[in-house]
Amino acid sequence: MNKIIQSIFKNKKPNSEKLLKYGFNKVGDAFVYQTDIFQQFLLKIKITSGEVETLVIENDTQEPYTLFLTNEAQGSFVGAVRQQYQDILTDIANKCFDKNVFKTQMAKKVIDYVSRKYGDELEFLWEKFDENAIWRREDNKKWYGAILTVKKCKLGLSTDEKVEVLDLRAKPEKLQMLIDNIHIFSGYHMNKKHWISVLLDECTNEKEVFDLIDQSYIIAGQK
């Protein structure tokens, strides 16, 4: 996989229905698509199990053309081919792929729970911090949750390992009871008097997390 593909499709997963609607054909386990680049090249795209492969063929010679993938290759023509290649792949990524940022099973369960119960989808507000996202209430636009990717040391733990945490509102009088500094911490990047951070790992109690989400949603709705 080249660096252009890695950059464009980072934290994304293909959506089969969207791929077919876009014009991809299902061939075995793969989705395939082809289009022209400046009527001089044929771009072939193959997506298998989420992996994107491309091949650019020069129409006159029927040979693979790879010069545009080399950073050292300069010139207006090479640059134009590279830009067109990037534009096509970016369009496919935007129209045929869904966000797939958060990887833990607990994070996926939380995202599914919020979607089913409240109908809210994650909002990715920060382009430079694309591993962080929030939920907000539809009625008053107040945040009631956020999933953040942070280093454990930011929570007061002893390693730099990255983890996914769920930031939620909590009543100040309940903070001391909730925070154990093992699974639940003072709110990271939030007002520590009103927010907690829940570590989303295999040891997290699913029902407890869902209850905390519900409480946070209610608090966000209060004046």
Please state the domain extents for the chain. 3-99, 105-220
User: Of residues 109 and 72, which shows the higher confidence score?
Assistant: 109
The pLDDT > 70 percentage for the chain reads 100
Most confident stretch, 65-74, 188-197, 211-220: 211-220
Asked if the model's pLDDT at residue 223 lies above 90, the reply is no
Asked if the model's pLDDT at residue 1 lies above 80, the reply is no
Q: Residue 8: which pLDDT band, with cuts at 50, 70 and 90? A: very high
Q: What is the pLDDT of residues 10-46, one digit of tens each?
A: 889 999 999 999 999 999 999 999 999 999 999 999 9
Q: Residue 120: which pLDDT band, with cuts at 50, 70 and 90? A: very high
Task: Please give the average per-residue pLDDT across 168-191, as a whole number.
Answer: 92
Asked if the model's pLDDT at residue 205 lies above 70, the reply is yes
| Fold topology of 105-220 | Aspartate Aminotransferase, domain 1 (3.90.1150)
Q: 0.85 cut: is pTM over it?
A: no
User: Of residues 33 and 151, which shows the higher confidence score?
Assistant: 33
Task: Please give the average per-residue pLDDT across 82-106, as a whole number.
Answer: 94
The pLDDT > 90 percentage for the chain reads 78
Write a three-state SS string for the chain.
CCHHHHHHCCCEEECHHHHHHHCCEEECCEEEEEEEECCCEEEEEEEECCEEEEEEEECCCCCECCHHHCCCCCCHHHHHHHHHHHHHHHHHHHHHEEECCCCCHHHHHHHHHHHHHHCCCCECCCHHHCCCEEEECCCCCCEEEEEEEEEHHHHCCCCCCEEEEEEEECCHHHHHHHCCCCCEEECCCCCCCCEEEEECCCCCCHHHHHHHHHHHHHHHCCC
